[in-house]
Amino acid sequence: MYDIVIIGAGPAGLTAAIYARRAGKSVLVLEKDSFGGQITFSPKLENYPGFESISGNDLAQRMLEQALALGADVDMDTVTGIENGPIKTVIGEMGRYEAGSVIIAAGARHRRLNLPREEEMIGNGLSFCAVCDGAFYQNAHVAVIGGGNTALQEILLLAETCEKVTVVQNLPILTGEQKMIDLVLARPNVEIRYSTLCVGYEGDNHLTGLRLRNSENGDETTLAVDGAFLAIGTEPENLAFAALAPLDDGGYIKADESCRTPTEGIFAAGDCRVKAYRQVATAVADGASAALNACRYLDSKG
């Protein structure tokens, strides 16, 4: 029996553990994959306060060590559901865990193309975040894969500093907001390849190019690039919590800045909830808010 069970050990979950332990609550953090979440894919962070530069792995390790030093318990398990009641029961593949309150910090996974060698290229020339990694490609040639709003935001940011940005869009049109499309089309250093699929990656230990296929005529070409950004959106994994934490059309948990869900005692923090920006700093802020509100909820129950 714990005061708080936290589902997910990314920045939001680990921050929640730190705040909850400092408030004297017993805490269990459950993680199904690897501690640190999506930041572990970033070889260098330059926009996290307090560090001019730090790798995602190093930042995650520091957060984990701090939570452990404060007395949080951590375990590996895949959560498949939550039973509600005065005492919440978190159901995992390996066990059942009781708590007075639950914080869902399950994150959101960047969508992949699921091509061969994709995972090994992530962090080695293949990235998901221009805000995080765009500065490494100043005056370079990069590709952006995607044509929706997520991709358009990445393109505009990269076009400010890159020599050239080639957009690989699988449809014959861009699908984002018209205002953003107009801004992209006005950039002289942006080239758009419509009706084009990325079907493979080139390079040994680092990405050097993309293998492309035109969906209209089947022609295949290789595009040499210094780096590429996958910008085809994110996908949360929140179906296990849908009965207690309502989801929007994209599958994200509906929770406001207080991180409360409509179910008493259950909170949602970080990339898994509906929010405008998904950055490490905003995830950390969510973790603090969720933990403080969970502690307040527990204290109100005596």
Instruction: For residue range 52-70, list pLDDT tens digits in order.
Output: 989 888 999 999 999 999 9
Phi-psi region of 107 (alpha: psi -120 to 50; beta: other; left: phi over 0): left
**What's the pLDDT band for 82 if we cut at 50, 70, 90?**
very high
Is position 133 annotated as part of the catalytic site? yes
Specify the pLDDT at position 249. Answer: 92
- Looking up tokens 């699908």 gives 175
pLDDT band at residue 45 under the 50/70/90 scheme: confident
What is the CATH number for 52? 3.50.50.60
Q: For tokens 């890159």, what's the residue?
A: 162
140: left (phi over 0), alpha (psi -120 to 50) or beta: beta
216 and 149 within one domain:
yes
The pLDDT tens digits for 154-208 are 999 999 999 999 999 999 999 988 999 999 999 999 999 999 999 999 999 999 9
Question: 99-144 pLDDT, tens per residue?
Answer: 999 999 999 888 899 999 999 999 999 999 887 789 899 999 999 9
Q: Given the residues 3, 129, 259, 271, select the one marked as catalytic.
A: 129
Query: Do residue 289 and residue 219 come from a single domain?
Result: no
* Active-site entry in 77, 133, 271, 286: 133
Tell which of 230, 248, 274 closes a domain.
Answer: 230
- In the predicted structure, residue 243 carries a pLDDT above the cut 90: yes
Tally of domains in the chain: 2
68 and 123 co-located in one domain: no
Q: Name the packing angle between helices 149-159 and 178-185 (round to 10°).
A: 30
Instruction: Answer yes or no: do 224 and 266 share one domain.
Output: no
Catalytic site residue from 3, 77, 132, 259:
132
Q: Which pLDDT tens digit goes with each residue over 23-33? A: 999 999 999 98
Q: Rounded mean pLDDT of the chain?
A: 94
Same domain, 137 and 219: yes
Q: Distance of CA 280 to CAs 13, 42, 90, 201, 271, Å?
A: 11, 11, 26, 28, 9
**pLDDT (0 to 100) of residue 40:** 81
Has residue 231 got a pLDDT over 80?
yes
The SS3 of residue 79 is strand
Domain end (from 193, 214, 230): 230
Provide, rounded to the nearest whole percent, the portion of the chain with pLDDT above 90.
Answer: 82
The answer on 150 and 59 residing in a single domain is no
Whether pLDDT at 46 is above 90: no
pLDDT of residue 151: 92
Q: Which domain holds residue 21?
A: 2-110+234-300
SS3 at position 126: strand
Residue 132 designated active-site = yes
Instruction: Provide the pLDDT confidence category of residue 227 given band limits of 50, 70 and 90.
Output: very high
Inter-residue contact 288 to 22 (CB < 8 Å): no
My answer on whether 17 and 46 are in the same domain is yes
Same domain, residue pair 150 and 221 = yes
Q: Is the pTM of this model over 0.85?
A: no
What is the mean predicted confidence (pLDDT) over 277-289? Answer: 93
Does one domain contain both 127 and 184? yes
Q: Are residues 223 and 202 in the same domain?
A: yes
Q: Residue 140 burial by CB count (10 A; 0-12/13-18/19+): exposed, middle or buried?
A: middle
pLDDT band at 277, cuts 50/70/90? Answer: confident
Is the same domain home to 59 and 191?
no
Active site residue 162: no
- Same domain assignment for residues 90 and 224: no
| pLDDT above 70 coverage of the chain, percent | 99
Split at pLDDT 50, 70, 90, the class of 44 is confident
Considering 53-57, 223-227, 272-276, the range whose residues carry the highest mean pLDDT is 223-227
Tell which of 180, 203, 230 closes a domain. Answer: 230
